[in-house]
Chains A and B, each alone.
Chain A
Amino acid sequence: MNFAIRYLTEYDYDADVVDNLNALRVKPHSNGRQRVDEFSVRLTPEVRLHRHSDYFGTEVVEFEVSRPHRHLTIDVRARVSTKESIEPPHSTWESLTDPGYREAGGEFLLQTDDAPGDTRLRELLTTTGAASTPLATVMLVSELIPDHFEYRQGATYVDSDIADLLEAGAGVCQDFVHLGLCLLRHHGIAARYVSGYLFAGGSDDGHESIEVDTHAWLEALLPVGGPDQVSEPVWVGADPTNRVLAGETHVKIGHGRHYADVPPIKGVYRGAATAKLDASVTMTRLERTDPASIARS
């Protein structure tokens, strides 16, 4: 599928601010299933951009507005084409103990956020651990979480952890992913947080624009075949907000251990002002394709 993405962020400050520094992680990733044809960041006021690739391979665009200003617009545009995901491998639980798998999993096997002793978490662990294969567990995780937790904005905050989700019983995609990561890692499955854009259009008409949000899902590392096989394990995307595996409507920006490794916009400024934020993501399908796995946000 081909998409045009426009991510527009506007800050209004009620007094002058200076030294406004920001780091953007908004550029779609380039990989075998996804190609970036165009990408631009335009700023008002206009300043120089600095780009680098971070530890996890996400492209970071940084800039600073040092002079006094009351308004900042960040206008990000991208054109991306995506392909359908490959068929996920059906591997055995035993293959997870293979040293090659452990090495490939690396730090994504390590818990970053846990809620030991929580009974709800323990129940979820028992249920999801009973699945026949790691892939079945991944799918179960993405179905059980939205079953158990209500998707509700405002129930949690940007820096909430899974204990907050478990207590509130509700959260947003970011919280669902954090919980999913915790469950999968408990089962010895390497899993990582993915930040991106999700085209959640309900129709297959071409040139359709819809307002979306930045989205989050997860990727689990699954061995290919049994323990004797030597092929590289593969990352399989799963969306615990929408009960699906990630497909061609999922446009990935980057991944990390958790949200804090790939926040779309992170910034600080100096000044005694409060900021009013207005952000919108518009995704437009550029041409007609066959109906794909259609998800809702």
Chain B
Amino acid sequence: MTNLQSETLPPIGDGYTIPAGSRDELLDDAGRPLPHARPLMAALARLGPDALDAAGKRRDAIFMQQGITFEVAGSDGEQRDRAWPLDLVPRVLTSAEWTTIKRGLAQRIRALNAFVDDVYHAHEIVRAGIVPWSLIVSRPSFARPVHGVRAPGGVYCHVCGCDLVRDGGGTWCVLEDNVRTPSGISYVLENRVAMTRLVPELFAGHRVRGVEHYPSLLLDALRSVAPAAESHPTVVLWTPGAMNSAYFEHAFLARQMGVELVEPTDLVVRDAVCYMRTTAGLQRVHTIYRRLDDDFIDPLEFRPDSLLGVPGLVRAYRAGTVAIANAIGTGVADDKAIYCFVPDMIRFYLAEEPILENVPTYLLSDERARKHVLARLDQVVVKPTSESGGKGVFIGPHAGPAERELQARLIEHDPSQFIAQELVHLSTAPTETGGGQLAPRHVDLRPFAVFGEEIRIVPGGLTRVALREGSMIVNSSQGGGSKDTWVLDDGDAVDPAPGTLPAQRPPRLPDVRYGGGWHSQSQQQQQVKSADADSIGRSPGGRAPGGDADPSAPG
């Protein structure tokens, strides 16, 4: 990959073989860069494997120094901090493609939000015979304590992150919805900063849409849902504590938004109003962005053994004195068994056709579907309905006979705990696999949306990549990495002169001064001498920094 030209780009390496059934995000089947990826691939070629490898080493050092790490269980079961695995080859999306994704996500989130409202109020979708009530009430995340409670502004799913994949035919599908406490946005922002520092030359030739305004979007949304006509609502971010695996993100977002990062003992409910304890006494809290599950929110209403909760918070929420984001009970909408119904929800609530498709999914509590799936266990993916983070996922084609038999028994024992999905051949993207060499690895995409007065989505999102060859498990807890996701501005428009920004004529500024006049002369002599003495090879004072050399200097 040393002789790349901008027009005729050869395959990036003989070893680059896109797995059968998948398509690549940046290259065509012959291994040539797709039009929107040409400047990037050319820049990668100019950079060369050695520089890419070196940048990777600097990345790990910087991430460790900044504490951008995550915990992995080692082979001995010990939890260890590892530098956040960022692959330095970005994933590139065209502006047209992003527009489709964005519209599809916004549509989906509106429908999910309407569903949550419906589930806890009118039950219209149940009465219309679309979603069975027994399915809803059997979801562990169906939150009875908030039945009949309307969230401020009618918004429940303030922060959403849907997992998208591109299948072998090039179609975008939603693999999972996440409307509880999706995490990963901090890595989107940190990835971008790291990329500009580590491999700035890759950005040459592309205009990449910014992502750094996410905290502002989030803060605006959280303020907009604050109860009552509060002109200066107080927003807090509630973390379960420093032991939580996403604590880095909690602290990151609190810092970026300039809001307090609170732990349960910081909050107290008095007379159905939530306060935080400050040095100046109790201070009213209007919006809580909580990063822990419903179960732990309020020991009076949910798990009584929860030490993380704030007793009485549900009462305050019910009284409408505090907004909670995401609202309590949203988990019923992203349950994997409910997922099957999302396209119908879109039709039912919005009277629109879904823009993004679902992966074909089977509810195993249905007897016919179960028989169909059990006969084809070697071809499908089976997921527990109430797990997340890739836990308990069974991938048929990768499983041996013993695993298949075990899975079949688990399904037979309690079919309602599982769904089955057709295997999607996740798309691949060139990924650095050591020594600066690129190979195709499977990727997904988790864009992040914020729902306040309207739905806003930051361009791109977190691209997760399965670092093991052939693997389709992208979760970072299971050996997945991440990529910076570029959404190009104005399609694949290429800036012919990288590094020049159009600018207005700067105003006339006073001249810059350089020390006292008499001194610069004596300094010049000293510097020449000292430069020799220190054998720096260059003379820092070779040109007189003041005096006659600089017409602006006094003296």
Contact = CB atoms under 8 A, between A and B. Distances in A.
Contacts of B413: 116
A66 B269 CA distance: 9
A66 B270 contact: yes
SS class, residues of chain A in contact with chain B: mixed
A64 B145 contact: no
Contacts of A21: 269, 300, 311-312
B137 interface: yes
Interface in A95-117: 102-103, 106-107, 109-110, 116
A50 B315 contact: yes
A55 B314 CA distance: 13
A121 B454 CA distance: 54
Nearest to B282: A66
Nearest to B270: A66
B207 interface: no
Contacts of A276: none
Interface string A53-73: 011100000101010000000
A19 interface: yes
Interface in A17-72: 19, 21-23, 48, 50, 52, 54-56, 62, 64, 66
Given A50-B272, A266-B300, A106 B311 contact: no
A107 B311 contact: no
B144 A48 contact: no
B136 to A, nearest CB: 9
A109 B315 CA distance: 29
Interface in B303-352: 304, 311-312, 315, 318-319
Contacts of B300: 21-23, 62, 266-268
B312 A107 contact: no
Contacts, number: 53
A106 B144 contact: no
A268 B318 CA distance: 19
B235 interface: no
A48 B271 contact: yes
B144 A261 contact: yes
A81 B237 CA distance: 50
A21 B274 CA distance: 14
Nearest to B301: A23
- Most chain B CB atoms below 10 A, which of A19, A21, A109: A21
Given A19-B311, A110-B138, A266 B269 contact: no
B299 interface: yes
A106 B272 contact: no
Contacts of B319: 50
A64 B304 contact: no
Interface residues of A, number: 24
A123 to B, nearest CB: 21
Contacts of A56: 144
B318 A107 contact: no
Contacts of A55: 144-145, 147-148
Contacts of B134: 102, 106-107, 109-110
Interface string A261-294: 1000011100000000000000000000000000
B380 interface: no
B514 interface: no
B133 A54 contact: no
Interface in B139-179: 144-145, 147-148
Contacts of B270: 64, 66
Contacts of A102: 134
Contacts of A66: 268, 270
Given A50-B315, A62-B315, A103 B268 contact: no
Interface in B519-551: none
Contacts of B311: 19, 21, 64, 268
- Most chain A CB atoms below 10 A, which of B272, B300, B318: B300
Nearest to A266: B300
A4 B272 CA distance: 32
A116 B300 CA distance: 30
Nearest to B146: A55
Contacts of A268: 299-300, 304, 311
Contacts of B144: 54-56, 261
B138 A64 contact: no
A236 B319 CA distance: 35
A50 B301 CA distance: 15
B309 to A, nearest CB: 9
Contacts of A48: 271
A64 B312 contact: yes
B120 to A, nearest CB: 9
Interface string B457-498: 000000000000000000000000000000000000000000
A107 B138 contact: yes
B269 A106 contact: no
B147 A64 contact: no
B81 to A, nearest CB: 33
6 contacts: A19-B268, A56-B144, A64-B311, A107-B134, A261-B144, A268-B299
- Closest 10 pairs (CB-CB, A-B): A107-B137, A55-B144, A21-B311, A55-B147, A268-B311, A21-B312, A23-B300, A110-B138, A268-B299, A66-B270
